[in-house]
Chain A
Amino acid sequence: MTPYSAIPKMSRMTAEQAMHQALREEFQRDPDVMLMGEGVATKRRDLLDDFSAARVRNTPLAEAIIAGTAVGAAASGLRPVIDLLFAPFMTYAMDALVNSAGKLRYLSGGQFRFPLVAIGMTGGGWSVGGQHNHNLEAMFVHAPGLKVVMPAAPADFKGLLKAAIRDDNPVLFFADIGLLHEAGDVPEQDDFIVPIGRAAVRRVGDDVTLVAYAKTVNVCMQAAAQLEAEGIAAEVIDLRSLKPLDVDSVLNSVRKTGRLIIVHEASGLCGIAAELASLAATHAYASLRAPIIRLTGPDAPAAASWVLEQAAIPTVEAVAQASRDLVEFMPVSLSETNLCTPNHRSAGSQSCIY
């Protein structure tokens, strides 16, 4: 029995607004939560006014010390959130995030925990070029001790950010630039949380599994809508968290559909899609009715030119065509090479050459 008050009140807001609401609510809930970064006190003036200058701190443009300070503060009882602006700037913070936050709990035999969140924007959409747009999330997935999330829906921007702040481990929160101004329904209640490590099935279908995260979730949803008209039922899974990965959700779907396409904007080489393809090939082998396809960005820096930037992002048409190919796939009639022809992927995608 659900009491009326438990029915979530929803508000329409952008992903960016949802993140701000998450910060506000967590600031209110826990006095140990604090925010540091390049302009956080400037841009989030209401947090500065309503809480304190001690908890909302502008910093020098010095990512290494921002992240290092967060690590030291986190180990000492605070819950810092750091805004490093653009994901590529995180490479300046690698020592603190990877060597300190990710390893010193383990190397100290469990003496410390590092409840911190590092936020970075990335992805095509603003024509900012490769030093501001670099989907490097898989680099952090490869680092032990870190968690990595990358939401698609505004509600998940809020729920995952709140979960990340409450988590006792360092969490990398990647915000897809192309989604920040997209609006969606977001639950208003303070205790709304999206658990880290749980994927969401966005659409149910029996014929092919489309796995994506961040902006390519919408790409897959549009492709699935097209495919429905053709009689192909695609299941769309939004990973939301990249580490831990919700492997069971993906495998359960693959066991049902027998066909798997993984789609992301990040480069394919040693990426999330490669990992999922390997897991599916190992654990759902008997269910597979066709080869696994990865549709990804290329092994190239992001270009600023709108046309080139967009060419690096897997397209609706590429996902739809790959889905048709898998549904029509006959082991004797279609060679592996056919699955790698350019019309199966976005113009810039190199996914099949690996």
Chain B
Amino acid sequence: MQAQPNTDAALRRLETMQLIRAYELALVELQRAGAPGTCTSVGQEACAVGVIEALDARDRIVSNHRSAGHLIARGAEPRRLMAEVLGRVDGYCGGRSGSLHISAQELGVVLTSTIVGGELSMAPGVALAQKMGKGDPGGIVAVFFGDGAACEGIFHEALNLAVLWQLPLLFVCENNQWQAFVHRLETMAEAAIADWARGHGLMVETVDGNDVDAVQDAAARAVAQIRASGGPAFLELSTYRQRGHFEPDDQTYVDPTELRGWLRRDPIRLYSERLRARGLIDSAGLTALQLRIDASITAALAYAQTSAWPSPETLTEYVYA
């Protein structure tokens, strides 16, 4: 039986999920207006918010091309993220990353790779450094990846090494059912990623990835286990990529019945209903929340659009240390 979050925590979860959603939908609009395309995590917000809430400031996060949720849940400013997506100097990476490999070391979001599987290759090394005393004392590492990355060989190499060397590493598989343009039913003989993970001999839990309370609960258990044992743990969060692989993507290849079913289980919708049922928020409160978030995204966009472009003279800066 999972614990009920207190009012503040519950409202914060809802607000963060809505902020991620509003931020990414703004990127969709920007792309339609000619900005670079992005890979959104629309529909997966509960995964990011639930897991990140279970982490401390001393912990590190390794992410992938669908990183907006992880970054915003960790406290990244939408305006600096937007500036990055638009290639401006005020972005977290000075405009060199764009949307695909945003890292923010100041937030502990390190080494984002857009190569599917790249995040899994680097995460054990970050955890090894933690174990060898390089990070903040007691810190662990959480690596976010998808079912697509789980089909890369590096998935097993990373799990094997993390278990073998007992690395403080939380594997977070956001199984969003889609691997670029292919449904995972076409690419995997096993029903779940967790079945593969269990073979490596670590704590594995499968969770409804659209239930933010359930995700937070399971993540907190996994994190506690990692801190206590020093070794890794694995979460499979079952969720759904509501939008295409990247923007634009017309999703003509998606089964509309399946999509409708998952839209009914939209994590923000589910959580709004839960909080209303608990009496923590009403229609007026939800509207006010949405208006506040929309205003903040509008301000963020204005900031990003007025941020300067990097100077072409800086083209080869940061190639070498």
Contact = CB atoms under 8 A, between A and B. Distances in A.
28 contacts: A32-B134, A34-B132, A62-B157, A65-B154, A65-B157, A65-B158, A68-B158, A69-B124, A71-B111, A72-B62, A72-B111, A72-B126, A74-B125, A75-B125, A99-B118, A100-B113, A100-B115, A100-B118, A104-B113, A105-B318, A107-B96, A108-B101, A108-B105, A108-B112, A109-B318, A110-B318, A111-B93, A147-B320
Contact of A104 (B103, B104, B120, B154): B103
Contacts of A70: 125
B153 A168 contact: no
Contact of A78 (B123, B124, B129): B129
Interface string A73-85: 1111110100000
A111 to B, nearest CB: 5
Contact of B321 (A71, A80, A168): A168
Interface residues of A, number: 43
A107 B125 contact: no
A333 to B, nearest CB: 45
Which interface residue of A70, A76, A114 has the most chain B CB atoms within 10 A?
A76
B113 A99 contact: yes
Interface of A: 32, 34, 54, 57, 59-60, 62, 64-65, 67-78, 80, 95-96, 99-100, 104-115, 144-145, 147, 168-169
B290 interface: no
Contact of A68 (B92, B94, B124): B124
A68 B121 contact: yes
Contact of A109 (B96, B110, B135, B157): B96
B129 A107 contact: no
A100 B122 CA distance: 8
Nearest to A55: B132
A108 B157 contact: no
Nearest to B167: A69
A64 B128 contact: no
Q: Which of under 10, 10 to 19, 20 to 34, or 35 or more describes the interface residues of B? A: 35 or more
B96 A67 contact: no
B225 interface: no
Given A68-B120, A77-B129, 5 more contacts: A65-B161, A76-B129, A100-B113, A109-B318, A169-B320
Which interface residue of B60, B104, B111 has the most chain A CB atoms within 10 A?
B111
Contacts of A72: 62, 111, 121-129
Contact of B121 (A71, A77, A114, A147): A71
B258 interface: no
Given A112-B111, A145-B320, A95 B128 contact: no
A65 B97 contact: no
Nearest to A54: B132
A107 B321 contact: no
Given A72-B62, A100-B113, A144 B105 contact: no
A99 B160 contact: no
B319 interface: yes
A74 B101 CA distance: 18
A335 to B, nearest CB: 41
Which interface residue of A96, A99, A107, A110 has the most chain B CB atoms within 10 A?
A107
Contact of B125 (A64, A71, A109, A144): A71
B317 interface: yes
